[in-house]
Amino acid sequence: MTIDNATQIEFWNGETGRNWVTHDALMEAMLQPLGESVMDTLAPQPGEHVLDIGCGCGHTSLSLADRVGAKGSVEGVDISAPMLAVASQLAAERNAEHASIQFHEADAQTHTFDPERYDVVFSRFGVMFFEDPVAAFANIRGALRKSGRLAFCCWQPRAVNPFMTVPAMAALELLPAPPEMPPRTPGPFAFEEADYIMEILTSAGFGSVAVTPLQQPLTFGRGLSLTDIVERLVQIGPIAQMVREASEDLQQPVRDKVIDAVAPFYTEDAGMTLDGQFWQVTARR
């Protein structure tokens, strides 16, 4: 099954995009260590030119800009106007001694990039939504210089990610399971199979492709009460859609179930910490 990019554009410009903006600080606190770890592997050097695919609210672009310094540049590409508005605002608040940062509202699968412009391409969870991933990565590859390198992270299967399964199993005690998406459907878990990632990047022309497991605990809602954390989880977390579609009389009982399930993973200081299993993918043009 596929989901076309026009549907993704609608999705990321609708409630989902607006929710990411509302919960930007929470999401960033959770995802930042993972992005930094992939950047450490990619190791952008001072003066390099970087492309950040699916840059969202732009935090990774800013961090990449710190790494490449005043002589480098970073361009972030995303299809979500509300998320890019946050990114532009963050970049505007920075002072001028950093690398130049630009954001483009564009579909990375079809956007006409300047050929061979970038030294490195990075993405934190922004490359699993393409309708035609081989075409998208071939397009992105054309934007890389001859010696250029790529690094991104993506989710391993939902079933090995307690961040996904612990709240979901609790909610499913009261709610019907949502329809299962066939494997490889564009979405967060499209790249759950390492072999499929290999196949896509190789078909797109990349070399030296490496898909490495990356384990990183996810800390969600530092400083929030358990009740507030669950309230955020039903707005932007793994059970958001399920709970949104549930009847009024089940809203509180579902929340109570989820509170009980995540309580063992909660501390007042750290919020909720659940393990996450990801792929770190690196390749060369």
Ligand X SMILES: C[S@@+](CC[C@H](N)C(=O)[O-])C[C@H]1O[C@@H](n2cnc3c(N)ncnc32)[C@H](O)[C@@H]1O
Residue 205 CA from chain centroid, whole number: 23
CB of 188 to ligand X, least distance (A): 7
Per CB under 6 A, does 80 bind ligand X?
Answer: yes
**Nearer Cβ to ligand X, position 108 or 281?**
108
Interface positions, 85-114, toward ligand X (CB under 6 A): 107-109
Rg of the Cα trace of the chain?
Answer: 19
Q: Which of 117, 41, 53 is nearest to 80 (CA)?
A: 53
Per CB under 6 A, does 192 bind ligand X?
Answer: no
CA distance 47 to 201: 26
**Nearer Cβ to ligand X, position 134 or 174?**
134
**Nearer Cβ to ligand X, position 113 or 206?**
113
Per CB under 6 A, does 12 bind ligand X?
Answer: yes
Could you give phi then psi for residue 273, rounded to 5 degrees?
A: -120, 120
**b/e for 184-205, b at 16 or more Cβ within 10 A?**
bebebbbbbbbeebbebbeebe
Cα(first)–Cα(last) distance of the chain, in Å? Answer: 29
- Size (the chain), residues: 285
CB of 136 to ligand X, least distance (A): 7
List, in order, residues 6 or more apart from 245 with CB less than 8 Å away.
Answer: none
**Residues 47-76: x where in contact with ligand X by CB under 6 A, - otherwise, as a string:** -------xxx---x----------------
**Nearer Cβ to ligand X, position 12 or 220?**
12
Could you give phi then psi for residue 86, rounded to 5 degrees?
A: -65, -45
Residues in the interface with ligand X (CB under 6 A) total 21
Per CB under 6 A, does 279 bind ligand X?
Answer: no
**Nearer Cβ to ligand X, position 152 or 206?**
152
CA distance 232 to 163: 13
Q: Which listed residue (83, 87, 197, 229) binds ligand X by CB under 6 A?
A: 83
Per CB under 6 A, does 5 bind ligand X?
Answer: yes
Interface positions, 112-131, toward ligand X (CB under 6 A): 124-126, 129-130
CA atoms within 13 A on the CB side of 172: 10
DSSP state of 177: P
Site residues for ligand X per CB under 6 A: 5, 8, 12, 31, 54-56, 60, 77-80, 83, 107-109, 124-126, 129-130
